Amino acid sequence: MIALGCTKSTNKEQLVIGFSQVTVKEPWRVIFNEKLKEKAGEYGERLKLIMLDADDKTENQVEHIKSFIAKGVDAILISPKEASGCSKAIQEATEMGIPVIVLDRDITYKGYAAYIGADNFGIGQAAGKYAVDMLGGPGKAKGKVYEICGALASTPGQERKNGFFEIVSREAGIEILGGLDADWKLDKAKEITQDVLQVNKDIDIIYAHNDPMAYGAYQAAREVGLEKKIKFLGIDGLPHEGALWVKKGILAATFLYPTPGEKGLEVAMGILLGTKKIQTGERIILSTATISHSNTK
């Protein structure tokens, strides 16, 4: 089955695509938007891209989708806050013949045109393997790992947690602590770490679901002189953040989480121009990589 809207707008002089970004308060999402704008520029006057910021609120994203439908946009890109909140509105847009491309965070409704993002479960597994190696290796690892989660109502938060646990829980010598939700925010992660280090100073590794939260944990540890004792793992790998913090010795490692906007726009335009045929609900998984001291310059 070809996704709805594959060729419906081929003859229009200008295509209009609406994009709902969950927030611009996270550095990764700022880069996400910048790269999306750059990609949009490649299409010149053929494309009008409407970019909206939901200010971290699901209800705003629902309103974005409704406004895109009312405007008669040709396609919708969305990076949702949570798995269920926008599903009904996305289903409505899809049933009206508007292709919807879901970016980064998946949703419960699977009738959209395509999902594009990285393998968050696999990234969690990679972080788990790295933690096990740092603590002595498979079958020998010993230590305490404190986890700081991203938004657990989102699929990346759930999958990064589950992937990590799937690996680390095999090791009888590793104790997994924490699991509190810091909603991807540096300041919240710092507060969580400040609290835990008041009562538990023998943590060996802090695994955070993104680099800003890992850095917030590092800041809290530095305040009590534990920044050298504890190893920090993050996810994102932005050059000016996670990768730089690895290079400086602040993080032990980070795991590349590529922004999906460019590919999402490419797929949307391909559907609209009739040059891209996809199966409804197709999943396009972006590649990742481990960034550690051994491969940073």
Tell me, yes or no, whether 212 and 228 share the same domain.
yes
Helix (H, G, I), strand (E, B) or coil at 122: helix
Tell me, yes or no, whether 112 and 129 share the same domain.
no
Can you give the residue range of the structural domain that contains 78?
15-118+259-287
| DSSP collapsed to 3 states, 212-281 | HHHHHHHHHHHHCCCCCCCEEEEEECCCCCHHHHHHCCCCCEEEECCCCHHHHHHHHHHHHHCCCCCECC
Please give the Cα distance from 62 to 126 (Å, whole number): 34
Tell me, yes or no, whether 111 and 147 share the same domain.
no
State percent of the chain over pLDDT 70: 96
Please give the Cα distance from 264 to 270 (Å, whole number): 10
| 241 band by pLDDT with thresholds 50, 70 and 90 | very high
Average pLDDT of the segment spanning 96-121: 96
Number of H helices, E strands in the chain: 9, 12
21, β-bridge pairs: 53, 79
Q: Where residue 134 sits, what CATH number does that domain have?
A: 3.40.50.2300
Paired tokens of 264: 């999402």
Tell me, yes or no, whether 95 and 156 share the same domain.
no
1 lies in some domain: no
Residue 8 has pLDDT above 50, yes or no: no
| 296 band by pLDDT with thresholds 50, 70 and 90 | confident
3 lies in some domain: no
pTM of the model: 0.89
Residue 7 has pLDDT above 70, yes or no: no
Lateral strand order in the sheet of 143-149: 174-181, 143-149, 205-208, 231-236, 253-256, 290-292
Domain total of the chain: 2
> What type of residue is 294?
S
Q: What is the number of alpha carbons within 13 Å of residue 72 lying toward its C-beta?
A: 4
Query: What value, to the nearest 5°, has the Cα angle with vertex 20 and ends 208 and 160?
Result: 20
Tell me, yes or no, whether 250 and 157 share the same domain.
yes
Sign of CA dihedral 17, 288, 165, 167: positive
| 266 band by pLDDT with thresholds 50, 70 and 90 | very high
pLDDT digits (tens, 9 = 90+) for 37-93: 999 999 999 999 999 999 999 999 999 999 999 999 999 999 999 999 999 999 999
Residue 9 has pLDDT above 50, yes or no: no
